[in-house]
Amino acid sequence: MAMAQSATEHTDELLADAARDGDTRAFALLVDRYRDTAFAYSYAHLRLRDEAEDVVQEAFVRAYLGLPNIQATRCWAAWLMRIVRNLCNDALRRHRSRPVAALDEAWPDDSPTPEMLLLIGERGDEIRRAVNELPEKLRVPLVMHYVSRRTYREIALALDVPETTVVGRLSMALQRLRRRLLCER
């Protein structure tokens, strides 16, 4: 495949086909497209930056090694995110006895969003504690959206659910946080 064309002109499946045929630039484009979403999911799920980075790296290695086995009709992004989800679940199983650390306040960068400014404020500890106590199915999309700045589409891809489910889970998470934080006052 001639990679002289714009990267946006290539579908994931075309890039995966090219990578399967030995085009390392095609695979690098796939990594660039999905690295942030894979990391956002891993970080929200595991709550440990180093572990999330390891999972993402391992996922891309497994995806590269698995390219000869992927079906041409299969959605590459969904396949990659399934690998990421499975690796996160494996990591959680390995570390069940180890306590989970709180989310790193400095990630993803130093420029705070309005939500992060609120977290840093005087009620920041209460809010972080409330977020960490949410059920995983509500906490992960909340962290991916407000901390990692992922779109509904990216979160839906990472969780393998429809976008409407992501919207519903975010709404439910915010309702629970509001209720909990108002009760603590």
List, as one string, the DSSP characters of 44-110: HHH--HHHHHHHHHHHHHHHHHHGGGS-TTS-HHHHHHHHHHHHHHHHHHHTTTSPPPPPPTT-S-S
**Measured between alpha carbons, how far is 33 from 13 in angstroms, rounded to an integer?**
13
CA angle 117, 122, 128 (to 5 degrees): 70
Q: What is the mean pLDDT of residues 33-44?
A: 93
Paired tokens of 94: 């390995």
Mean pLDDT of the chain: 83
**Class assignment of domain 114-183?**
mainly alpha
Helical pair 76-94 and 12-20, crossing angle rounded to 10 deg: 80
CATH of domain 10-94: 1.10.1740.10
The model's pLDDT over 92-112, given as tens digits with 9 standing for 90+, comes to 888 775 555 555 555 555 565
Going by pLDDT thresholds of 50, 70 and 90, the confidence category of residue 1 is: very low
Task: Kindly report the number of other CB atoms within 10 A of residue 126's CB atom.
Answer: 16
The model's pLDDT over 5-37, given as tens digits with 9 standing for 90+, comes to 444 568 888 898 899 898 999 999 999 999 999
Going by pLDDT thresholds of 50, 70 and 90, the confidence category of residue 2 is: very low
Q: Where is pLDDT greater, at 130 or 120?
A: 130
| Residue 73, CA distances (Å) to 38, 82, 179 in order | 22, 16, 45
Site of tokens 């960490």: 132
The model's pLDDT over 143-162, given as tens digits with 9 standing for 90+, comes to 999 888 899 999 999 999 99
What is residue 123's DSSP assignment? T
Is 114-183 in the same CATH topology as 10-94?
A: no
Q: Where is pLDDT greater, at 106 or 183?
A: 183
Contacts of 169 (CB under 8 A, 6+ apart): 137, 138, 141, 142
| Residue 138, CA distances (Å) to 64, 102, 170 in order | 31, 16, 7
Which residue type, as a one-letter code, is found at position 20? R
What residues does each domain of the chain span? 10-94, 114-183
Contacts of 150 (CB under 8 A, 6+ apart): 36, 37, 40, 144, 158
